[in-house]
Amino acid sequence: MGRRPKITTDPVAETPEVAAAAPVVRRRRRRTGAIDHVAQTALLVESLLKTRGAQGASQEELQSVIAWARGVHGEAEELKTLVGRPRRQKALASPERMAAFELNKALLDSVLAGTIGVNVSSSGAIVFIDPVTE
């Protein structure tokens, strides 16, 4: 099987004036993993304040919840780089680490979706609650 012959086009279409008139459109790679931290922070603050009710929340409590969410995203990025290196994957991305990340990611997604609420206990631990029963 040989190559197909090159199809010739109309000589008018190949002139430099026509080629210069049509701009070259280059495709850019889309980033689908971009996280809107501002919108996410607003949702986390709203969830915490909703579960706390009239108590309100201190700045330290809000910062601990936001730091937890950012830690989940940081762990996702780190695990993504480890998956790209199969030799180091077993040593650094243990099944326990993957399970902990998947749990934290599921909790974060549920808080952002509004299906569960987030609270901070008196000891400073993050507590997840059902917003319907609260």
Render pLDDT for 22-45 as a digit per residue (tens, 0 to 9). Answer: 677 777 766 566 777 788 888 999
Q: How many residues does the chain have?
A: 134
Q: What pLDDT was estimated at residue 71?
A: 92
pTM: 0.64
Kindly state the percentage of the chain with pLDDT values over 90: 17
Mean pLDDT of the residues in the chain: 78
Q: What does the pLDDT average to over 13-29?
A: 64
- The residues, ordered by sequence, that sit 6+ positions from 92 with a Cβ below 8 Å of its Cβ are 82
- pLDDT tier at 107, thresholds 50, 70, 90: very high
SS3 118: strand
72: nearest Cα among 29, 34, 102: 102
- pLDDT tier at 80, thresholds 50, 70, 90: confident
Dihedral through CA 29, CA 75, CA 81, CA 100, nearest 10? -120
Strands (DSSP E) found in 18-125: 117-120
